[in-house]
A and B are shown apart, each in its own frame.
Chain A
Amino acid sequence: AQTVTQSQPEMSVQEAETVTLSCTYDTSESDYYLFWYKQPPSRQMILVIRQEAYKQQNATENRFSVNFQKAAKSFSLKISDSQLGDAAMYFCAYRRTDSSYKLIFGSGTRLLVRP
């Protein structure tokens, strides 16, 4: 069975600095999708970034980028120029490419941003 592990329950970053959130996963599949979701205090889940496993190039969305290491089964999220609005829970998630569509979430990392 696939699993997703986030080993950092909480991280703290100074505003305008850079922070990296870690995520590892376990799967026997060769193709799959990986996601980072943000859950602010409103609890609305917001997609931050996604990565297709067949793509070697790391995904980037403005201040958010990932370091995808397929062999190591690692998928970390880097947030540059951190802003107060980045404070939230961040969940790493995995999905197979087949029709099951089920998202498997990690336990989450709470990001605190210090002004």
Chain B
Amino acid sequence: GAVVSQHPSRVICKSGTSVKIECRSLDFQATTMFWYRQFPKQSLMLMATSNEGSKATYEQGVEKDKFLINHASLTLSTLTVTSAHPEDSSFYICSAPSSMLYGYTFGSGTRLTVV
């Protein structure tokens, strides 16, 4: 079945540095990638939608300069958290529509801790 590989699974970074999270679709072309943020014991909050070859669409309240999204190819989308601060610590998940009928394929998530 369709797989989205997300890396890294865990990352700890110092405050003020930038972190890049990658999501690759392994056996299908992901023209669209959704990026979610999930706080402990809460639901998934859509941050932005990236489309291959065009600018990402950000949800209201999401800082586009802090969360840079690039969708350079049909198999790779990246989220860069710039100048990270402790409040950016969270679980980030990517997801791509892999089939109209079967919803979406999700990456395994990245736990970001900013110290």
Contact = CB atoms under 8 A, between A and B. Distances in A.
Given A95-B103, A102-B49, A108-B42, A44 B32 contact: no
Contacts of A42: 108
Given A103-B34, A106-B43, A107-B42, A33 B109 contact: no
Interface residues of A, number: 21
Nearest to B46: A102
B67 interface: no
B58 interface: no
A30 to B, nearest CB: 17
Taking chain B's interface residues, is the majority helix, strand, or loop, or is none over half, making it mixed?
A: strand
Interface of A: 33, 35, 37, 42-45, 47, 50, 91, 93, 95, 101-108, 110
Contacts of B43: 91, 105-108
Contacts of A103: 34, 46, 95, 103-104
Interface string B10-34: 0000000000000000000000101
Interface string B31-57: 010100010011110100100000000
Contacts of B46: 102-104
Interface in B59-115: 91, 93, 95, 97, 101-104, 106, 108-109
A44 B103 CA distance: 15
Contact of B103 (A35, A43, A107): A35
24 contacts: A43-B91, A43-B93, A43-B108, A43-B109, A44-B106, A44-B108, A44-B109, A45-B44, A45-B93, A45-B95, A47-B103, A50-B102, A91-B44, A101-B32, A101-B34, A101-B49, A102-B46, A103-B46, A103-B103, A103-B104, A104-B46, A106-B43, A107-B43, A110-B41
